A and B are shown apart, each in its own frame.
Chain A
């Protein structure tokens, strides 16, 4: 029993890491621009597809394909901000959300057009399996967890310690005051979208290596990402990290002990219960 719980926790940490990366991108975008960037999941999956394509189409090794996909993510994120969201910045927030829905359709369409209907798995050579006192830990899962921790730490350091990070926090805190202090509010959203999308692409690659990428996966993932935000609390970095981990582990344990078909239902039920008891989220500030 205990071993089974530990086993599912390890599994949950890997998928939880993916959720945290998706949620960090979403929460940063939300904090700066107040946009629910719904296309985030599909764009992340585009990154996963691209990695697969670079490896199988051009014969690049995984280690070379990843940086290219991440760079493509930065570029794509900046483009999306500039072409799609900037024109509706001053309109009603509903408009930005509808633009996000339209973008999702477009990106899903592009994914289908270029990468097809078949599900793909990003091939890796990490096939060893460690056995720690009865708990099996696949090497790949371990690397996914470690890279997620590394990326989250890098993001935290960037936002907390660098000047650009300070500017991002300033815009999130008070846009008008940030403008008065000489923060360039045109480039900040570009940077935020670039970084967020790169984090999403990293998550997309992880999903592609751990499970598989197929049409519709991105949409499911972005809904989970928002569930994490609701769980953790709006705009809260620690909230996103805690929420993602909790959601990942809850889902794994639910899949292991209750029903794998209904694991998503259980994950959403947790989200709805948190909403009822604590509408501001686990680590969110009271309104």
Chain B
């Protein structure tokens, strides 16, 4: 697709989303849509490290937890206003990401995935056991909500932030940094060989992706009003990976579509009840085998074919 057409599609999608609170009569769907918008931020962050840089990180939900607990605890102990705590959340998360990213990024491929997952497990263990601070498994309730819990207003907040974060991701992807990140994914040794310190860029991608997650975590906490360690486990980190894969790895639209899928798909599979987890896993396996380029990838291929009539159809 050409540039103006792409911009038009984005604007249409944004307008359609902005009309949702007026259109949706079932309040539960509005609730899910807000969650999906928060997950758009998580998935955009995951895509920066997983999609562009080619490092599958399994700690995104853990970083969400740090953002959520960070924002909540600062509010409780220092009495900061909600906006200040939400703004502080990505910064706290960035600090943790710097500390964990340095050792994790010394290894590649699967090892990186496993080490980051170990960090996610550590975060959950600390959240469960450091009761004096986190109140353990029971979690923290009555977290203050802005606008007295007005859902429509929160929807627009989530929408604005999700759009801004998507735009930021697009700007990063288009910049020289984005080019280097993609080069690292394709051939890290070559990047090093032409005199670029790849580790700086990898750490940058890791920390930025963590800041996305931290922001999303804070938004989650002040939306739901309740957090406990279970919400920020490895299973949720896998959801972030799933969102990127299903939507389209290394694209900007992919994580948006993927985030809505991972929030709404389990709801749609509710009819399957206890088979839900099996079905969900099966979809993931089948999607990876038969559609590794994701929904956006497939759409792009189809559009490219339509634009070139007479192009080969054997595929």
Contact = CB atoms under 8 A, between A and B. Distances in A.
A265 interface: yes
Contact of A110 (B56, B106, B241, B278): B278
Interface residues of B, number: 41
A265 B110 contact: no
Interface stretch (A8-16, A60-68, A171-179, A267-275): A267-275
- In terms of DSSP, what is the predominant structure of the interface of chain B? helix
B288 interface: yes
A264 B119 CA distance: 11
Interface in A73-98: 84, 87-88, 91-95, 97-98
Interface residues of A, number: 42
A60 B35 CA distance: 49
A223 B238 contact: no
Interface stretch (A101-109, A154-162, A180-188): A101-109
B161 interface: no
A112 interface: yes
A23 to B, nearest CB: 12
Contacts of A143: none
B129 A106 contact: no
Contacts of B118: 223, 227, 268, 271-272
Given A102-B285, A223-B118, A264-B125, A97 B278 contact: no
Given A36-B110, A272-B118, A276-B103, A98 B241 contact: yes
Given A98-B284, A102-B285, A230 B113 contact: no
A271 B106 CA distance: 13
A175 to B, nearest CB: 17
Given A262-B129, A275-B103, A102 B278 contact: no
A97 to B, nearest CB: 6
A121 interface: no
A230 B115 contact: yes
B97 to A, nearest CB: 15
A226 interface: yes
Counting chain B CB atoms within 10 Å of each CB, which of A87, A102, A264 scores highest?
A: A102
A36 B125 contact: no
Interface of B: 50, 54, 56, 103, 106-107, 109-111, 113-115, 117-119, 121-122, 125-126, 128-129, 234, 238, 241-242, 245, 274-285, 288-289, 292
Given A93-B109, A109-B279, A265-B125, 8 more contacts: A36-B110, A84-B285, A88-B288, A94-B56, A101-B284, A105-B238, A109-B276, A112-B277
8 contacts: A84-B285, A101-B241, A105-B277, A113-B278, A220-B121, A226-B111, A230-B111, A230-B115
